[in-house]
Amino acid sequence: MYSIGIDSGSVATKGVLFDGEKIVKKIIIPTGWSPKTTSEQVYNYLSEGIDKINIKKVVGTGYGRVSMDFVNKKVTEITCHTKGIHFLNKNIRTIIDVGGQDSKIISLDKQGNVVNFIMNDKCAAGTGRFLELTSNILGSDILNIDKLAKDQEPENISSMCTVFAESEIVSLLAKNIKKEKIAAGILKSIANKSSAMLNRGEIIDEIAFTGGLAQSKVLVKMLEENLGKNIFIAEDTQIIGALGAAIIGYR
């Protein structure tokens, strides 16, 4: 028997086929203009070659879950990220999740249930969108920002507002500040924003970092330095929500 979890985010749609013990199949594709169409593509890929009677449940999560009229259940991404991380590491009690449009700090108990959460969804500060827009000014992108920023002294980026930060970066470039230092400064500003959110809550035991930005080794290192703690990074940081959705569906 299997279950399917689909996480429709603002940037990417992720899917997991789960057999109760492990991930059997996974997929990540750009969400594009139609979350509904993309989610259906993910479902078709994951269910290909499987008799529908052997799929226990299909669970949708993420901001695009409202468009999934084919799923059995819709669950918040906060719950799904919690279930996904708890499955991978039972010691985690705090999750930093930085997505395309928002950031979240989630506290969980020993059973993997949500205890509390803090969410920043009022602006793009510290999110994937912030990194995308600011790195584009440097002629780079999210995938290459680590190469630029590695082993560089971060230039101070004082504004976390995307519009003001863009102006600040343009001004720094006009002063012939190295792109590499600015790139490190952008990541440092995101690390500082995430650290500030963490400090608003209670950090208990081990911390996990999920979402697309957790793929940045430079950002992870900066966060660890800010917090004075090691951070758990799953092998596939982007599919944690989809994994959690699949686990909920199976159980």
Helix, strand, coil share (%) of the chain residues, nearest 5: 45, 25, 35
| Residue 139 zone, left/alpha/beta (φ > 0; ψ -120 to 50; rest) | left
Number of helices and strands in the chain (H, E) = 8, 10
Compute CA 10 distance to the chain's CA centroid, rounded to the nearest angstrom: 11
In a 10 Å sphere around its CB, with 0-12 CB exposed, 13-18 middle and 19+ buried, how is residue 26 labelled?
Answer: buried
Class of domain 1-89+236-251: alpha beta
Domain coordinates in residue numbering, the chain: 1-89+236-251, 93-233
Quote the pTM value. 0.92
Residue 5, by phi and psi: left (phi above 0), alpha (psi -120 to 50) or beta? beta
Concatenating the DSSP letter of every residue in 160-185 gives: -SHHHHHHHHHHHHHTT--HHHHHHH
Architecture in CATH for domain 93-233: 2-Layer Sandwich (3.30)
199: three-class secondary structure by DSSP: helix
**Coil/strand/helix, residue 28:** strand
**Same CATH fold, 93-233 and 1-89+236-251?**
yes
What is the CA angle 250-74-66, rounded to 5?
A: 150
| pLDDT digit string (tens) for the chain, length 251 residues | 999 999 999 889 999 999 999 999 999 999 999 999 999 999 999 999 999 999 999 999 999 999 999 999 999 999 999 999 999 999 999 999 988 888 899 999 999 999 999 887 666 677 888 888 888 899 888 778 999 999 999 999 988 777 888 899 999 999 999 999 999 999 999 999 899 888 876 676 799 999 889 999 999 999 999 999 999 999 899 999 999 999 999 99
